[in-house]
A and B are shown apart, each in its own frame.
Chain A
Amino acid sequence: MLQGFLPSLIEGAGTTLAVAICSLLIAVVLGLFGALMKLSKSRLLRGLATTYTTVIRGVPDLVLMLLIFYGGQLAINEVAPKLGFKDVIDINPFVAGVATIGFIFGAYLTETFRGAMMAIPPGQREAGIAYGMAPGQVFLRIVFPQMVRFAIPGFTNNWLVLVKSTALVSVIGLSDMMNRAGLAAGSTREPFTFYMTAAMLYLLITTVSVLLLRSLEKRYSLGVKVIAL
């Protein structure tokens, strides 16, 4: 039924997952920094973080992706020689896609993490400082573990949107699931078959993610009372 294209589609699914996970790692790092910047006392840091989140959330993913893919390499070509690089530094489509999506979702995660950090009672932080902990220790030992529980619902949402956004990297030529499905569809003139398969593979990834994250939420919510409906 799939006329031999199944291995190609599965490979594409692998690429999709790889892009999604790598982007997530970048996004988490950016999100944590962004949230801390937004909550900091410095006006400059707050302003920078706000500009970052406003621009990213005001421009479609596709436009940002095309901008970073086509424009980013041009910029690197300009800057690299000035820094003393004689050779060409090349960005391959995978890195371009991951950098773009990571950069975009860093903004969304900034908001999620900021909300989660704000949900922690300030007394917790104060107690940590009263004990003489350094700000870094306060973050690692007190803020971060509690923040995870509050962040999981929003994080799940962000992750699901991220996975679906990876479909757009097919537009910049990365050989992900959508790209493979499209090429198979063009070759066989059966777009319905292949896009339906791609849809089901995405649904599979989504379902597994939701189940995993739900069990993670249960683990971090041990000891917390929930309203019974």
Chain B
Amino acid sequence: MLNVDVMISSLPLYFNGALVTLKLLLAALAAGLIFAIPLAVLRASRNPWASRPVWLFTYIFRGTPLLVQLFLIYYGLAQFAWVRESVVWPMLSSAWFCAMLAFAINTCAYTTEIIAGAITSTNHGEVEAARAMGMSPVTLYRRILLPSALRRSLPAYSNEVIMMLHGTSIASIVTLLDITGAAREVNSRFYLPFEAFITAAAFYLALTFVLVSLFHLAEKRWLVHLAPRT
């Protein structure tokens, strides 16, 4: 029923695609997370001058499709001569960098909201106790708020990571040969849509399963204190 020969012979293309997908995903997540933590601190602050700008950033990047953001960075920026002549052009001319940048900014916006939400929902008793002990704001964040918030962000963050994995599939629309790109090549070369896209779906399912398992282990290690009592 399904043309298994084509599926098997095109596997190298898919494996290369999986590597591209993973590299994009990990780079974007790392960059996004690093910037999200300080941004979340600003977002959770009571000072409107600190939280409002960050709110605007997350509002815009969570309110528009990732596809538009990618096109703006990849095609949109290249429209301007001053961009093309600037020092960042060698990076922006690479499709991989543009995709990674778009994904990183997008995941940063979502992650910022997740961590900020976790910070503001910290048990007020903990904050009072820390203040009563004379902790400075910096120490308060470093010893109490951030570790607790990061742990409680794990479930929502795991969702965000899976969503990002799905998001990387649109990199195929700007010439990158990730898993979806490989599937489109196979489909357009052999006119076998079922074989091409079911193989891609299988790869994504496998990756999703691995990620979900990793987060399960992470929650066992860092979130045991909130697990339901049996």
Contacts and interface: CB of A to CB of B under 8 A. Distances in A.
Any A–B CB pair closer than 8 Å? yes
Interface of A: 55, 57-64, 66-67, 70-71, 74, 160, 164-165, 167-168, 170-171, 178, 182, 185, 189-192, 195-196, 198-199, 202-203, 206-207
A112 to B, nearest CB: 12
Contacts of B169: 60-63
Contact of B205 (A55, A167, A170, A185): A55
Could you tell me the dominant secondary structure of chain A's interface residues? helix
Contacts of A207: 63
Contacts of B187: 66, 70
Contacts of B43: none
24 contacts: A55-B205, A57-B208, A58-B204, A59-B166, A59-B205, A59-B208, A60-B167, A60-B169, A60-B204, A62-B166, A66-B180, A66-B183, A66-B197, A67-B193, A67-B197, A71-B197, A167-B65, A167-B67, A170-B67, A171-B173, A182-B71, A192-B72, A192-B80, A195-B72
Could you tell me the dominant secondary structure of chain B's interface residues? helix
B63 A59 contact: no
Nearest to B206: A58
A199 B184 contact: no
Given A70-B197, A178-B67, A178-B68, A63 B79 contact: no
Give the 5 A-B CB pairs with smallest separation, nearest first. Answer: A70-B193, A192-B76, A191-B75, A60-B169, A67-B197
Interface residues of B, number: 41
Nearest to B71: A195
Contact of A168 (B67, B75, B76, B204): B67
A189 B79 contact: yes
B76 A164 contact: no
A189 B170 CA distance: 22
Nearest to A164: B65
Contact of A63 (B69, B80, B183): B183
A16 B168 CA distance: 22
A70 B193 CA distance: 6
B8 interface: no
